[in-house]
Structure 1
Amino acid sequence: MDVPTWIWAATVVGVLGLLVFDFYAHVRTPHEPTFRESATWSAVYIALAVLFGLGLLVVWGPAHGGEYFAGYVTEKSLSVDNLFIFLIIMTRFAVPRPYQQKVLLVGVAIALFLRGLFIWAGAAAIEQFSWVFYVFGAFLVYTAVKLAREHHQDDTPAEFHENRMLRLARRVLPTTTEYHGDRLTVVQHGRRLVTPMLLVMIAIGTTDVLFALDSIPAIFGLTKEPYIVFTTNAFALLGLRQLYFLIGGLLERLVYLSQGLSFILAFIGVKLVLEALHTNEVPFINGGEHVAWAPEIPIWLSLTVILGTLAVATAASLLSTRRARVVAAAQRQAEERGLGTPV
């Protein structure tokens, strides 16, 4: 898949244009979006992603089209998991609801830039060193096991720990303790000070780098084309702001999402290792020769596994939380009537 430079340039300009449009159309005037507004624009960004994928399928064929859709679904589902941490960061910094849109938009712009650097570095490494797939695959399997074990052992909400960049910003930049509308800086006593708005934007954008450590290897496990890797990441992040307000209340009900995502990461990790065996050049593995018996996982199977896992995890989560609410309601009614807790 040979992507001309002008298509890369047009794509980057298009992504920047969508960010600028988002700012002037929705974020410039601070407000808390309604459910209808969030749902409408979430649908618009998903529709844009689907239309782009259909266009890619027509121009570059079903193989690359399938890779794009598998990558987009994976990145979108991983971005939903990001929202848990974003919600914690917003709470930690006590960001007023009307200003959260601006925080998320700027945070997404920072995240897109940093992910672009990651994608460039990952593509360069894969082109030069075939053994990188072993590293990516092993890391994804490790992350999947870690994610599943952490969720199983600890049901309490995760805590936000400031990263080095944010701690450095706090030390270097003189900061106010209170918000001044949605302004990033203010002048007090003749000094230019940074408000918490800028700090929380840095927190959102740089924290996403931690998620990119999972998502970038995952998408490279589905496609080796940097253009598809970039566009799936871009479309997944572009609709993140609307998704945050749309499913904010639903996040607490997706209790099995982490298990579903851990299974997807493990599956892609195994797929990466199998692909690495096909192109093996590592001397201590099969004498540096290709491993012919390693099965090849087609993209249609990857897409089926990803969609099926997300469907099962979502359905199981909603059924579990619904049952928990019914039991809790029955217990409250029994206590109010003085009958005690039902067996």
Structure 2
Amino acid sequence: MTHRPLPDAPRAHPEVFAGRPPEPAPGDVDPAVLAALLQRHGWQRRGGAPGRYGRWTPPGPGGAGTSLLVPVSRAFPDSDDLLGEALDALARSGTPSAREVLVSLAVPSDEIRWWRDAPSGGPGGSLPWTADERLRGAARRMLLAAALATRARAGYYGARHRRPATALLDQVLVGAAVDGGCLTAFVPVATARVLAVRLQQALYAAREAVDYRRATGGMDAFDGAVRAGVSREFTEALIALVEGTEGARVAVQWAPGAGVPEGCAADGEPVEFSPGDLPVLREAGARYLRAEPAVAVVLTGTVVRMRRAA
């Protein structure tokens, strides 16, 4: 028997870069943006001619063997040559951060990072193979909840707005490497920045509502948090991220060349959640489900067989 897939069957995770990362053209790269991305991803500036270029080395103890010369501007005749050499060195580098820098240069993007501080269960601090799957699953659920909030505000969406929200996720790029329980998604500024904006606003609102509940016992803050994008779907994503860990964090960092969106925090500091927040998040999700009013729907179908009793 052959089964047809359901129309709204879950799709695969957003696109994952495999193999060689995309390489931007040197003429399209702003040296200031490249320097900002290197600094964001932990690269160290170690000298260089003041006012002309900086020498950057990758993070970690093995970074001394690789270095990039990045001009401070395009005001010098050799700027394009230096940028081309820097991009080629990034493409050949085995450092995971080099790959992420190239992605952000090729597709100017806001970056969203998730961390799960899962207790190590194997030798040498190794994690079970399911840890990667749980991290990716929770991250995708959070992106979908934020995408739903770009369509409308609701405490519980159910099946509403699923198709356009899922289509928005198709714009998102996800890094292939998960290092130490960290996952990075790249949200293109040109087509999907609203997704990163809504996710950051929902994160801060959820954190404040949880703190208010734990401090005062009141759930009123969750009612106001709906306007920022918090919903049952969002609380369930947070629960999936935090369960089985010692804590979890989410950070949104804006594309250096695009600036900070209006009404958003600029610092990019992670928003943290702990296992102690789980009872409040579950209570909030149940509250959203109870409070959301029923919505009238119209079902249209075709009669393919009818039998009438004699």
Q: TM-score, normalised by structure 2?
A: 0.22
Q: TM-score, normalised by structure 1?
A: 0.21
Name the one with the larger helix percent.
1
Name the one with the larger strand percent.
2
